[in-house]
Amino acid sequence: MVKPIQQAAVIGSGVMGAAIAAHLAGAGIPCLLLDIVPTQLSEEEAKAGLTLEHPKVRSKLATTAIDRLKKTKPAPLYSEAFATRITPGNLDDDLHKLSKVDWIIEVIVERLDVKRQLLQRIEQVWTPGTIVSSNTSGISINEMVAPCGEAFKRHFLGTHFFNPPRYMKLLEVIPGQTTDPEITKYMTAFAEKRLGKGVVAAKDTPNFIANRIGTYGLLVTLHEMLQKGYTVEEIDAVTGPAMGRPKSATFRTLDLVGLDTFVHVAGNVHNNTMDESEKAIFDSPSVLRRMVEQGWIGEKQGQGFYKKVKTAAGKEI
């Protein structure tokens, strides 16, 4: 029996996790936001005499993510006051709290091995009836949950939100081979009625529907246009407002998504296709890989294809 969703937990407080928690908070669903425990102190923390054992340090990834929600534009929170519906924490100290929620959403790095490990950890405290879903951009739902037990597998599916989650209506719901149809049905109705989403049922194929098509377009642009000598600005000028997509020009989109995440998402099709021409397209160009190696991973780091700068009035553009 599925538990009606009254409380949720989001694991991973990065670009998508924090913003999904904000959307849930806006829909009146209190949620935990958990991330890993940092392994290093910042200079300020060390100066202030804090240690890695201090609760403030241990949950700082989620805490700072919630602070960031209040400053991000367009606003991920319907109202700043709703931030109090999100409780920050960390996976080591707060794992047991997952036994009390009705929906657990995994929103961590796009890597099969890391996601598998996390799901196995969640399973240790999971209670039957609790739905567990992944926000993966395209990793196989079946493979992700393969090491887990049968009951857990029946409660697991993909719920793929789009960036930014408050504003993008689309939600791909992806049942795996072992997902209980009742869970898929419940989640679809819940997402439509409570979260205001337009749900598309997707099959568990590499990158599902949207990222199969979307990443293809971005990669063709990257491979062909850069090679032909067009600039970032020229390509964005054509692939943005001029094509009726005010916010989604090629390089702006890559910066928003995160170049590190994009390389993983493209790699997922690259590694799972036998078609040589498709393999070549889904092989991220070296410029992208070099930028990731340098830490130029997009808006979340302040530098991607575009650099965030502060104006004289202190506004970030």
Nearer to ligand NAI by Cβ, of 2 and 263: the residue is 263
Least Cα distance to 82 among 22, 31, 34 occurs for: 22
CB of 86 to ligand NAI, least distance (A): 14
Nearer to ligand NAI by Cβ, of 134 and 221: the residue is 134
CB of 126 to ligand NAI, least distance (A): 16
CB of 247 to ligand NAI, least distance (A): 12
Q: What does the alpha-carbon distance between residue 144 and residue 7 come to, in Å, rounded to a whole number?
A: 24
Q: What does the alpha-carbon distance between residue 169 and residue 215 come to, in Å, rounded to a whole number?
A: 19
Pairing of strands 31-35, 86-90: parallel
Nearer to ligand NAI by Cβ, of 91 and 132: the residue is 91
Q: Cβ distance 103 to 133 under 8 Å? A: yes
CB of 91 to ligand NAI, least distance (A): 6
Position of minimal CB gap to ligand NAI: 14
Compute how many other C-beta atoms are within 10 angstroms of the C-beta atom of residue 30: 17
Enter the DSSP assignment of 174.
E
The H or E element that residue 103 is part of is strand 103-106
Nearer to ligand NAI by Cβ, of 36 and 75: the residue is 36
Q: What does the alpha-carbon distance between residue 316 and residue 9 come to, in Å, rounded to a whole number?
A: 31
Least Cα distance to 85 among 195, 4, 6 occurs for: 6
Nearer to ligand NAI by Cβ, of 15 and 32: the residue is 15
Nearer to ligand NAI by Cβ, of 3 and 206: the residue is 206
Enter the DSSP assignment of 287.
H
CB of 114 to ligand NAI, least distance (A): 5
CB of 311 to ligand NAI, least distance (A): 25
Placement of tokens 């590499």 in the chain: 206
Q: CA 293, 298, 300: angle at the middle one, nearest 5?
A: 110
Contact positions vs ligand NAI (CB under 6 A): 11-17, 35-36, 61, 91, 107-110, 114, 118, 135-137, 161-163, 257-258, 261, 265, 300
Nearer to ligand NAI by Cβ, of 2 and 252: the residue is 252
Burial class (CB in 10 A: 0-12, 13-18, 19+), 6: exposed
CB of 1 to ligand NAI, least distance (A): 28
Phi, psi of 75 (to 5 degrees): -60, 120
